[in-house]
């Protein structure tokens, strides 16, 4: 699909979704909000980690940094300023950290990025206790839920549009080359270090902005709740279940995943994590390419069936 | 004498206590076709890693086109016109052959001027290396010998002045080796590149190049005309008496 068509689709879907606050129930709206948030996180995660193969668990750290920018800035600064600031703070952090750790690969990189979330969480806890003499912060006068929803929707749609644009660009080609064979890409002229840091920071910007936008929903913000490793894992799972090499996969899977989680939680309040875990294992075992690989599989099967029935018909006519 | 295209001055590479490349002096002139041979473990590939910036030398300097690039990352070497292949073909398996060649054109090749029609676009480069019919095929689906050709095409996409070929004839049949040797001559004759060709099996190489250097245990033990080098007692000894030419 061409970039222009994808962007048109994104705008159309965004406009449709933007009407929800006036037609959906509170419960429906909050469910869609979760879907949209994970769509933004998973798509930008896939943009960097899916393309390059650098498995980052730093989403929780970036998200938390964004949330803390809101915790500190909200009240003195308007919501519309705090949100992009949260993104910028996370991106700046990603540049600093990326320069130090993006030469590591595989499990080392994954473990280190996981450690980042813990590091920032403890650093903020220490800072708040020692200098601000507090453990958490209360947000008052938070924006109404439809404002939060529209903000998160805008960020997520921008994230999808940017991911699509990156995929179609030289930058995206560089990231894909890094994923395929980093050294080869470098010997063909790719400044791999710069490309990796830029990709890491771009993904961090969206995670940070989403964290900053979502923070006002909690009203009480403390490090343990906003630097939640679950957010990082969930993002990686959604992207992988959907198919991290594709754009549509993480999108699709964020909807399926959020709905499924909600449905299972209501139907099987005690066993839902078990069912979810079994589903995941099944998916990884039998559909390693993710949800995005279903359609090509189905199409190939259909084509094979059609070819067989056509040859049967020919055979029948001949006999 | 004009500044050589490439000059390695006293280049050494040490891995802990092991000296893989030992104080090697080497030069490549404009449009020269030079072979580098040596027994297994002689340090040939390590030497190539240094020449292409993949590995920084422990000691010594590297000058490309008169500019000192010692210790710079590999993409800077590519931007200065050094392109290479790898011993085991490293193509982008999930991309088509055409996309593979276009990759070099999009990065190093983009900032470099080109003097020849064969460098114009991915299709003409594929045609040049003899893969004109494979443009739309996935690189991973090509036979190993065609992947080697594709790697040369990828390197040409970077629009280099210097082409480093690491055992491009290994594992090929005799007629394929002959065709590869011809392609290498055309790269030099028609495109005017300086070429360094490493090979473990030396017969085809000796017939093709006009100068050959011999590495043995990391040291350069000979450098000269193929016929003279083949008779050099030190070289004969390094190859344990195997006939070289």
Query: Which distant-in-sequence residues (6+ apart) come within 8 Å of B4 by Cβ?
Result: B27, B28, B29, B63
User: What is the domain-level CATH number for residue A91?
Assistant: 1.10.3470
Look at residue A134 and tell me if it is in a domain. Answer: yes
Of B74, B104, B106, the CB nearest to A170: B106
Look at residue A301 and tell me if it is in a domain. Answer: no
Is a pLDDT exceeding 60 seen at residue A317? no
Q: pTM of the entire structure?
A: 0.90
CA distances from A191 to B65, B75, B80, B128, B189 (A): 20, 6, 13, 28, 31
How far apart, in whole angstroms, are the C-alpha atoms of residue A155 and residue A227?
20
Look at residue A93 and tell me if it is in a domain. Answer: yes
Q: Per-residue pLDDT tens for A19-69? A: 999 999 998 999 999 999 999 999 999 999 999 999 999 999 999 999 999
Of B78, B93, B111, the CB nearest to A188: B78
Q: Does A180 contact B92 at a Cβ distance shorter than 8 Å? A: yes
- Minimum distance, in Å, between the CA of residue B90 and any CA atom of chain A: 7
Q: Which is more confidently placed, B202 or A170?
A: A170
Of the candidate ranges A80-84, A185-189, A212-216, A249-253, the one whose mean pLDDT is the lowest = A249-253
Is a pLDDT exceeding 50 seen at residue A5? yes
Looking at CATH, the fold of the domain delimited by B6-238 is given as: Rossmann fold (3.40.50)
Which residue is it, tokens 């923070």? A215
Structural contact between residues A247 and A163, judged by C-beta atoms closer than 8 angstroms: yes
Report how many domains make up chain A: 1
How far apart, in whole angstroms, are the C-alpha atoms of residue B154 and residue A183?
14
What is the model's pLDDT at position A194? 96
How far apart, in whole angstroms, are the C-alpha atoms of residue B15 and residue B223?
25
Of A181, A191, A193, the CB nearest to B90: A181
Q: Does A189 contact B94 at a Cβ distance shorter than 8 Å? A: no
What is the model's pLDDT at position B3? 83
What is the model's pLDDT at position A318? 46
* CA atoms within 13 A of residue B83's CA, in its CB half-sphere: 28
Mean pLDDT of all residues in chain B? 91
Interface of B with A (CB under 8 A): 52-54, 73-75, 77-79, 83-84, 86, 90, 92-95, 103-104, 106-111, 154-155, 157-158
Structural contact between residues A124 and A136, judged by C-beta atoms closer than 8 angstroms: no
Mean pLDDT of all residues in chain A? 90
Look at residue A318 and tell me if it is in a domain. Answer: no
What is the model's pLDDT at position A150? 96
Report, as an integer, the average pLDDT of A151-167: 96
Q: Per-residue pLDDT tens for A267-285? A: 888 887 788 778 778 877 8
Q: Does B54 contact A177 at a Cβ distance shorter than 8 Å? A: no
Q: Per-residue pLDDT tens for A86-142? A: 999 999 999 999 999 998 988 899 999 999 889 999 999 999 999 988 888 998 888
Of B90, B95, B158, the CB nearest to A189: B158
| Best residue of B53, B54, B75, B147 to probe chain A, by most A CBs closer than 10 Å | B75
Q: In chain B, which stretches have pLDDT less than 50?
A: 245
- Minimum distance, in Å, between the CA of residue B92 and any CA atom of chain A: 6
What is the model's pLDDT at position A319? 40
Q: Per-residue pLDDT tens for A179-209? A: 999 999 999 999 999 999 999 999 999 999 9
B88: closest chain A residue by CA: A184
Q: What is the percent of chain A where pLDDT is above 70? A: 98
**Counting one residue from A and one from B, how many pairs have CB atoms under 8 Å apart?**
67
Look at residue A137 and tell me if it is in a domain. Answer: yes
What is the model's pLDDT at position B118? 66
* CA atoms within 13 A of residue A16's CA, in its CB half-sphere: 8
How far apart, in whole angstroms, are the C-alpha atoms of residue A51 and residue A42?
13
What are phi and psi for residue B60, nearest 5 degrees?
Answer: 95, 170
Range of the domain at A227: 3-288
Report, as an integer, the average pLDDT of A219-238: 87
> What residues of chain A, 181 to 200, have a C-beta less than 8 Å from chain B?
181, 183-193
Q: What residues in A contact B103, CB-CB < 8 Å?
A: 173, 177, 185, 188
Domains of chain B by residue range: 6-238
CA distances from A117 to A40, A124, B157 (A): 19, 11, 42
| Best residue of B64, B92, B101, B151 to probe chain A, by most A CBs closer than 10 Å | B92
């Amino acid at each position: 699909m061409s970039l222009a068509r994808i962007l048109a689709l994104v705008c159309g879907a965004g406009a449709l979704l933007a009407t929800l606050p006036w037609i959906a129930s509170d419960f429906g709206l909050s469910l869609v909000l979760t879907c949209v948030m994970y769509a933004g996180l998973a798509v930008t995660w896939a943009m960097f980690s899916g393309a390059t193969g650098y498995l980052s668990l730093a989403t929780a750290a970036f998200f938390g940094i964004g949330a803390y920018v809101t915790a500190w800035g909200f009240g003195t600064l308007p919501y519309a300023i705090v949100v992009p600031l949260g993104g910028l703070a996370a991106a700046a952090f990603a540049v600093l950290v990326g320069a130090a750790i993006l030469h590591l690969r595989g499990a080392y990189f994954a473990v280190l990025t996981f450690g980042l979330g813990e590091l920032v969480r403890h650093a903020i806890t220490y800072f708040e206790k020692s200098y601000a003499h507090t453990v958490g912060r209360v947000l008052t006068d938070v924006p109404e839920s439809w404002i939060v929803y529209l903000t998160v929707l805008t960020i997520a749609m921008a994230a999808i549009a940017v991911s699509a644009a990156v995929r179609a660009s030289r930058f995206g080609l560089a990231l894909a080359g890094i994923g395929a064979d980093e050294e080869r890409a470098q010997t063909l002229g790719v400044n791999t270090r710069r490309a990796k840091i830029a990709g890491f920071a771009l993904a961090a910007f969206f995670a940070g902005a989403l964290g900053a936008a979502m923070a006002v929903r909690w009203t009480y913000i403390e490090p343990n709740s906003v630097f939640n490793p679950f957010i990082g894992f969930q993002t990686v799972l959604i992207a992988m279940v959907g198919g991290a090499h594709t754009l549509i996969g993480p999108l699709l899977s964020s909807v399926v995943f959020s709905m499924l989680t909600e449905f299972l939680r209501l139907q099987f309040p005690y066993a839902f994590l078990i069912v979810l875990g079994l589903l995941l294992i099944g998916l990884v075992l039998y559909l390693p390419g993710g949800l995005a690989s279903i359609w090509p599989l189905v199409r190939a099967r259909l084509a094979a069936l059609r070819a067989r029935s056509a040859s049967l018909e020919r055979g029948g006519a001949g006999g | 004498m004009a500044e050589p295209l490439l000059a390695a001055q006293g280049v050494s590479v040490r891995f802990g206590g092991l000296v893989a490349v030992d104080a090697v002096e080497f030069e490549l002139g404009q449009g020269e076709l030079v072979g580098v041979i040596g027994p297994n473990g002689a340090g040939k590939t390590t030497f190539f890693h240094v020449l292409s910036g993949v590995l920084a030398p422990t000691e010594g300097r590297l000058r490309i086109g008169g500019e000192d690039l010692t210790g710079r990352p590999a993409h800077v070497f590519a931007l200065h016109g050094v392109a290479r292949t790898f011993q085991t073909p490293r193509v982008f398996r999930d991309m088509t052959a055409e996309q593979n060649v276009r990759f070099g054109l999009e990065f190093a090749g983009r900032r470099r001027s080109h003097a020849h029609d064969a460098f114009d676009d991915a299709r003409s480069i594929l045609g040049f290396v003899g893969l004109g019919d494979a443009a739309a095929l996935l690189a991973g689906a090509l036979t190993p010998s065609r992947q080697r050709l594709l790697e040369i095409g990828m390197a040409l996409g970077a629009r280099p002045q210097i082409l480093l070929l690491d055992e491009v004839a290994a594992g090929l049949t005799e007629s394929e080796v002959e065709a590869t040797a011809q392609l290498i001559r055309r790269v030099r004759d028609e495109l005017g590149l300086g070429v360094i060709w490493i090979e473990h099996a030396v017969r085809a190489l000796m017939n093709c190049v006009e100068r050959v250097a011999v590495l043995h245990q990391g040291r350069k033990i000979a450098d000269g005309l193929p016929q003279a080098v083949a008779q050099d007692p030190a070289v004969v000894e390094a190859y344990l008496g195997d006939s070289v030419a």
